[in-house]
Structure 1
Amino acid sequence: MDRPDITQAMINAYDEYTHLTLDRRRFMEKLTALAGSGAAAAAIAPLLAASNARAEIVPADDDRLVAEDVTYPGGKGEMKGYLVKPKGAAAPLPGVLVIHENRGLNPHIRDVARRLALEGFVALAADFLTPSGGTPADEDKARDMIGKLDPAATVADAEASRVYLTGLPDGNGAAGAMGFCWGGGLVNRLATKSADLKAGVAYYGAQPPAEDVPGIKAAMLLHYGGLDERINAGIEAYRAALEANGKTFEIYVYDGVNHAFNNDTSAARYDKAAADLAWSRTVAFLKKYVILAA
């Protein structure tokens, strides 16, 4: 069977549904109108969504890695996460906090943590829905739960996760953070509050208020999809604030690709060329900046 044609209007409708309205019925009505029939909409919807069946690039039992679920102190109460490191590393390794999208700590983000570990990092994929009982299997429920989190408490949990990561015996005592979508926005906010974060990598994340930018101490790497009008509206104000405050940063806008272009579990939005280029830049950036201060 041929793959249905997916238009930019359909992708925009999905973005609106998953980030603004959380109204699936309204989304399917809009998609039906765009696709021409309910049957066509039903075939297209799974291609717009992420699929856990495609989430595993690095096997969970890869014998090059040591991976475990961990519990550690959060800002208030406990946090849970997924910790991965290379097996038998000869020297202390830089740490990276991996922050999930608004679907919580799912198989795709666990896989991203394993990919980072294979690049030579100790990676902690934290579950920021821990205070609400943990990431549920239902993605719509996870999005609703994310929307109810207290922003200040979430930043405190991110900082506590960074502190835990820097204290691990296999690490070099320093940590960066990388995040996607909702997690990219949290990386930006964490950077404005954490004096000890070494690097922040935000994939298509909402920008922090300009007045908070002076608090950034980390080097920042910011990836954006050229077609992502909702998030990209804040780029120039963020760039101006970073420049005005003398911050170390790099901004890349990948032409012709959408929000979530890095997520290879979403057939309609994933762009391999952009994702591979952004990943190579991310790994090089983290290796450069997630080091102990001299």
Structure 2
Amino acid sequence: MQTLPRRSLLEGLLATGFALAVRPVSATTIVTPAAGLQTGFSEIPVADGSIPAFHAAPLESAAPLPVILVIQEIFGVHEHIQDLCRRLAGCGYLAIAPELFFREGNPRQYSDIAELIRTIVSRVPDEQVLADLDAALRWAARHGGDPARSGITGFCWGGRISWLYARHNPAIRAAAAWYGRLGGEQTPLTPQYPLDIAAELRVPVLGLYAGRDKGISMQSVDSMRQALGSKSGSKIIVYPDAEHGFNADYRPSYNAAAAQDGWQNMLAWFREHGLGTDQSRPKK
């Protein structure tokens, strides 16, 4: 486990900006203003102490608010994930993104992706992640969130976690998984993948995938559709011309058309399953 002093880790995580591994960022990077929002980092109590989390919520809105857990890519809760939280807050949600790699160190400080995966990502157990997300929902319930109206969305690494959490916590209303891996090697830390638990899902999940994804095959997407079955309530959308990471506007993989359509589909999915807000409805 990371041996840096807790204060040093917190200072690095609280800093704004993008992870070293993704710099320089693309000119397509979207910056959502914080005007009209309440944003910041908080510490969430967990079984072995506390972890930091970024949160964003509308200032002028009656509590309690519907809650969306926002699950990071492998780069941690860097500027892009914080911006996604601000976008959701602008749609009327309390969005919270816990730093799920905190015990292992600061993923923003790694410039080499392979080293980041080896040193941090591969050492994080699913069981711990799911428990931390439970804790994040408890925190949200104490800070203006409605525990009866909660959902989850995640990107890449967080996409897989979104599928798993939908099975772990049947009390959430809906999930949206962006290009999360569906199958893989089972290990003591990652004992299951979405394909393994598809038949057990009771929470409706919207899967958003890319036809040109080099890491997630269309065969695995088709297998997931079959595993879900026609009565699961879940749905998978594939954007045939998009690549993995098509919503990551700060990277070359960004596909504006697919990202914007996926975002609107996600908001509609949340509304359809009882997580709607006036702000989340399409503007006429």
- TM surpasses 0.5: yes
Q: Which residue of 2 aligns with 1:186?
A: 161
CA distance in 2, matches of 1:198, 1:139: 37
- 1:218 corresponds to: 203
C-alpha separation in 1, matches of 2:145 and 2:168? 25
Larger radius of gyration: 1
1:110 maps to 2:96: no
* 8 Å CA contact 2:77, 2:99 repeated in 1: yes
Match of 2:11 in 1: none
Alignment partner of 1:230: what SS? coil
Q: Tell me which of 48, 53, 58 is aligned to 1:86.
A: 58
Identify the match of residue 133 of structure 2 among 155, 158, 163: 158
Per the normalisation by structure 2, the TM-score is 0.77
**Equivalent residue pairs, number:** 241
Q: Is the 8 A contact 1:94 1:290 kept in 2?
A: no
Q: Distance in 2 between matches of 1:150 and 1:85?
A: 29
Aligned AA (1:194): N
Q: 1:288 and 1:256, CA in 2 relative to 1: closer, same or farther beyond 3 A?
A: same
Is 2:57 the partner of 1:57?
no
Q: Kindly indicate which of the two structures has a greater share of residues assigned to helix.
A: 1
2:273 matched residue in structure 1: 289
1:70 matched to which residue of 2? 42
Is it true that 1:198 corresponds to 2:173 in the alignment?
yes
Q: Return the alpha-carbon distance in structure 1 between the equivalents of residues 87 and 165 of structure 2.
A: 23
- 1:49: Cα distance to partner? 4.3
Between the aligned partners of 2:36 and 2:50, the Cα distance in structure 1 is: 29
Q: Partners of 1:134 and 1:184 in 2: how far apart? A: 20
Tell me the equivalent position of 1:259: 244
The residue number in structure 1 matching 2:224 is 238
**Matched residues, percent identical?**
27
In the alignment, the residues of structure 1 paired with residue 131 and residue 40 of structure 2 have an alpha-carbon distance, to the nearest angstrom, of: 23
Cα 1:71–1:286 change in 2 (3 A) is: same
What SS class does the counterpart of residue 158 from structure 1 fall into?
helix
Q: 1:49 to 1:71 in 2, by over 3 A?
A: closer
Distance (whole Å) between structure 2 residues aligned to residue 201 and residue 167 of structure 1? 24
- The change in CA–CA distance for 1:66 and 1:136 in structure 2 (over 3 A counts) is same
Letter in 1 for 2:129: T
Q: Distance in 2 between matches of 1:239 and 1:112?
A: 27
Are residues 167 and 148 of structure 1, via their aligned partners in 2, closer, same or farther at CA, if it must alter by over 3 Å? same
Partner residue, 1:277:
261
Q: Please tell me whether the aligned partners of residues 148 and 172 of structure 2 are also in contact (alpha carbons under 8 angstroms).
A: no
Match of 2:95 among 91, 115, 123: 123
**How far is the alpha carbon of 1:215 from its aligned partner?**
3.3
Alpha-carbon RMSD? 2.3
Are the counterparts in 2 of residues 159 and 190 from structure 1 also a CA contact under 8 Å?
no
Give the aligned partner of residue 247 of structure 1. 232
Pick closer, same or farther for the CA change 1:241–1:53 going to 2, 3 Å. Answer: closer
Read off the aligned partner of 2:97 and give its amino acid letter. A
- Do residues 173 (structure 1) and 148 (structure 2) align? yes
Secondary structure of the 1:70 match is strand
Aligned residue number for residue 11 of structure 1: none
Q: Which runs of 5+ in 1 are unaligned?
A: 1-47
Structure 1 residues 187, 170: CA separation in 2 closer, same or farther (over 3 Å shift)? closer
What's the CA shift string for 1:106-145, capped at 9, x where partnerless? 1110001001100111100111112224443325354331
Deviation at 1:290, TM superposition (A): 4.5
CA distance in 1, matches of 2:274, 2:46: 22
Q: Which runs of 4+ in 1 moved over 3 A?
A: 48-56, 133-136, 139-144, 170-173
Letter in structure 1 aligned against 2:245:
A
2:95 is aligned with what amino acid?
A: A
Q: Distance in 1 between matches of 2:120 and 2:199?
A: 30
